[in-house]
Structure 1
Amino acid sequence: MSDSIDQSATRIPVGDDYDVLVGHGLISGADADARLGGLLGEAVERVLLVHPPTIDALTQRLTAALERRGLTVVTEEVPDAEAAKTAEVAARLWGRLGREGFTRTDAVVGLGGGSVTDLAGFVAATWLRGVAVVQVPTTLLGMVDAAVGGKTGINTAEGKNLVGAFHPPAGVLCDLDVLATLPPADLTAGLAEVVKCGFIADPVVLDLVEANPAGLCGPDAATHPSLRELVERAVRVKAEVVAADLRESSLREILNYGHTFGHAVEQVERYSWRHGEAVSVGMVYVAELARLAGHLTGAEGDALVARHHGILESLRLPTRYDGGRWPELLTAMRRDKKSRGSQLRFVVLDGPARPARLTGPGDDLLERAYALVSG
């Protein structure tokens, strides 16, 4: 890492509950143990470190930092991606916690992408009715979305994240250096969640992306001069929303922009699509739906729909989903967590950074919007 890179951490508070630290060298730096210790607190003696099989070097580095703090570290490797988020894997981790004698003053650390942090948070939420968890996301998606906010969960055959709990972490550590080892396609997929924050709350994000989209999805994306600002802006959007509405009773729903259709695509495709890729198509779908439903009107509305296509396509993210799967997608959407009874609910836009809700649109309207993104 170049000495010219600022290694100081930006501290972003999530209300009065916990902080998200964003910066360079937060895991490998000389003060990594102090940062982790500060997030975990003094009472913790044992840590369950949950990690995927693909980041051995990072796992060893984090284990060493925790041990320098005087903690006993128990490591558990879990499957990569969505395969980690099952009841079977969670039960295995509960068994390990029991055998190791973890108490309410001990903690879980999730090191990995969004699937690992979702799983680690859920296991922490349910062990002894709740122990501390610190999240150390290693993907862009994890940093700006999954690890922040306290939503934890696992999947079932019927849908994504249908089993879960709200369990805010004790802290989140976002070391931007780890993004240099991320496959370019994964980093690009994470940008979909960043762009989402731009559409729902912070249009400066959109301006930053439009200024140099090629650099953000190229081989040097991890060192792009705007990446840190994009991460910090996206985290601030989520932090402000979560602080105002932890349990998704009202405002927090806006963070699901593009997710109802996106989650349906993930389920129908058996999670072979990256989450960000599915959300990318989901945002275009819901923009088209908003226009059909009268939320986006006139030249201004047309321009905002076109901006969805333009930004996402400039990042080489998908904006279309092949036709022929509409009945399956509709069934999957009806099982979405945001549904109320038989009514589907969508987050839509009335304009840039003006989110609204569309409740109970007719099936014909939903299918017309699908026709605009299929083919």
Structure 2
Amino acid sequence: MAAARAPDAPVITVHVPLGDRAYDIFVGRGLLGEAGARIAALGARAAAIVTDSNVGALYGGALADALQQRGLRASIITVAPGEATKSYASLETVCDAVLEARIERGDLVIALGGGVVGDLAGFAAAVARRGVRFVQVPTSLLSQVDSSVGGKTGINSRHGKNLVGAFHQPSLVLADTALLDTLPIREMRAGYAEVVKYGLIDDAGFFDWCEANWQGVFAGGPERNEAVAQSCRAKAAVVVRDEREEGDRALLNLGHTFGHALERITRYDSARLVHGEGVAIGMCLAFRFSAFLGLCSADDATRVERHLVTVGLPTRLQDVPGGFGTVDELLDGMAQDKKVKAGALTFILARGIGQSFVAHGIEIAKVRAFLNHEIAATRT
């Protein structure tokens, strides 16, 4: 188990007020050491811990022991790491294991891992016995600031990313920021892309803060806790306004229409591209597309790109190892995106930093012209 939280170490609480489905997000260093007590307080009799082989080897057994010491019957369900695990086959495996563990509706499924585990375990919890409670214990920066909050769960289809799933809110989120100390730098950078996203959506001041404090986020200082907590506050506020993505919540997909298309083209091969990298490229494309359409200044698009380059993230199509496909392949990937309505493409575009908006009915011809412009730029 990770080191216990120091007595004077602060814990930040972010409340998600969703009526009878309200829950708290706790952010701080050493929280995993308190997971047994905090999870037991939910009143379940049993818990199934879903984790991957990497994270499970580090923390799974200790978490199960901590739960058992609090009187919960605990079992561990281990899946393979990587985006390919978000599949129909893995969902079947996890659901069957949850049922075999005799998890009832009042019990818990615990997602211990990154975004892949959280999405998969959350979806299994949503459909097993027509819905059991679950807890998110995110272990990556990306999952702490994004996928663990808001109740979106799901798996991938051959048609695209996250196209099969359900809205199912967690009962508790424990974000232990000390777990990020040993996260590979590539994964930290990928998660940081989602942090920056919240500033680009509607909080220019937070983007300013990121430019000034990103090194502290990576180093593990108090800036990391604040970055995670502020990201959670921002996402929670949007979720409360639009839980089922019928309006404002679509803003959280800034960069994702482009990014998901790139992930599909790379066949979700994490050796080539991980989600946060796709989002980083996608956000830069969204700002450059906005400038291309005359919606925002080229200076804003350049500023976004400059910051992401500074932290080591990819920002252009040519940064995708092994190639980014053709314009037609990119457009086909976008056409399968969940934000398509009546065959028209929907993008999150921007009038400036912190001024993003939902743009419906974008003409395919304009997207094609922009992508051709981007590709031409790679050859100069």
Please tell me whether the aligned partners of residues 118 and 154 of structure 1 are also in contact (alpha carbons under 8 angstroms). Answer: yes
Q: Secondary structure at the match of 1:294?
A: coil
- The 5 A counterparts of 1:160-199 are 160-199=161-200
Structure 2 counterpart of 1:88, which letter? A
What is the CA–CA distance in structure 1 between the aligned matches of 2:216 and 2:371, rounded to whole Å?
A: 31
Q: Check 1:6–1:146 CA distance in 2 against 1; reply closer, same or farther (3 A cut).
A: farther
State the partner residue of 1:236. 233
- The 5 A counterparts of 1:61-140 are 61-140=62-141
Cα drift, residue 364 of structure 1: 2.8
Question: Do structure 1's residue 227 and structure 2's residue 227 form an aligned pair?
Answer: no
Please tell me whether the aligned partners of residues 292 and 369 of structure 1 are also in contact (alpha carbons under 8 angstroms). Answer: yes
Q: Check 1:83–1:22 CA distance in 2 against 1; reply closer, same or farther (3 A cut).
A: same
Q: Deviations over 1:303-341 (max 9, x none)?
A: 211111111111110111136521111101001001002
Question: Do structure 1's residue 26 and structure 2's residue 23 form an aligned pair?
Answer: no
What is the CA–CA distance in structure 1 between the aligned matches of 2:5 and 2:93, rounded to whole Å?
A: 42
Please tell me whether the aligned partners of residues 40 and 72 of structure 2 are also in contact (alpha carbons under 8 angstroms). Answer: no
RMSD after superposition = 1.8
What is the CA–CA distance in structure 1 between the aligned matches of 2:358 and 2:25, rounded to whole Å?
A: 29
Cα drift, residue 213 of structure 1: 4.4
Question: Do structure 1's residue 309 and structure 2's residue 320 form an aligned pair?
Answer: no
What is the CA–CA distance in structure 2 between the aligned matches of 1:213 and 1:304, rounded to whole Å?
A: 19
Q: Check 1:37–1:203 CA distance in 2 against 1; reply closer, same or farther (3 A cut).
A: farther
Q: Secondary structure at the match of 2:340?
A: coil
Cα drift, residue 120 of structure 1: 0.6
What is the CA–CA distance in structure 1 between the aligned matches of 2:310 and 2:140, rounded to whole Å?
A: 21
Q: Check 1:207–1:343 CA distance in 2 against 1; reply closer, same or farther (3 A cut).
A: same
Runs of 4+ in structure 1 off by over 3 angstroms are 1-6, 212-216, 371-374
What is the CA–CA distance in structure 2 between the aligned matches of 1:318 and 1:250, rounded to whole Å?
A: 29
Segment drifting more, 138-147 vs 79-88? 79-88
Normalised by the size of structure 2, how large is the TM-score? 0.91
Normalised by the size of structure 1, how large is the TM-score? 0.92
Q: Deviations over 1:236-283 (max 9, x none)?
A: 110100011110010100000000000000110011211010000100
Unaligned runs of 5+ in 2: 319-323
Please tell me whether the aligned partners of residues 216 and 223 of structure 2 are also in contact (alpha carbons under 8 angstroms). Answer: no
Please tell me whether the aligned partners of residues 288 and 298 of structure 2 are also in contact (alpha carbons under 8 angstroms). Answer: no
Q: Check 1:109–1:358 CA distance in 2 against 1; reply closer, same or farther (3 A cut).
A: same
Please tell me whether the aligned partners of residues 258 and 281 of structure 1 are also in contact (alpha carbons under 8 angstroms). Answer: yes
Segment drifting more, 82-91 vs 198-207? 198-207
Percent of aligned pairs sharing the same letter: 38
Structure 1 counterpart of 2:11, which letter? A
Please tell me whether the aligned partners of residues 289 and 365 of structure 1 are also in contact (alpha carbons under 8 angstroms). Answer: no
What is the CA–CA distance in structure 1 between the aligned matches of 2:372 and 2:303, rounded to whole Å?
A: 19
- The 5 A counterparts of 1:1-375 are 6-16=8-18, 17-28=22-33, 31-38=34-41, 41-42=42-43, 44-55=44-55, 56-213=57-214, 216=217, 221-272=218-269, 273-296=273-296, 301-322=297-318, 324-374=325-375, 375=378
Please tell me whether the aligned partners of residues 194 and 205 of structure 1 are also in contact (alpha carbons under 8 angstroms). Answer: no
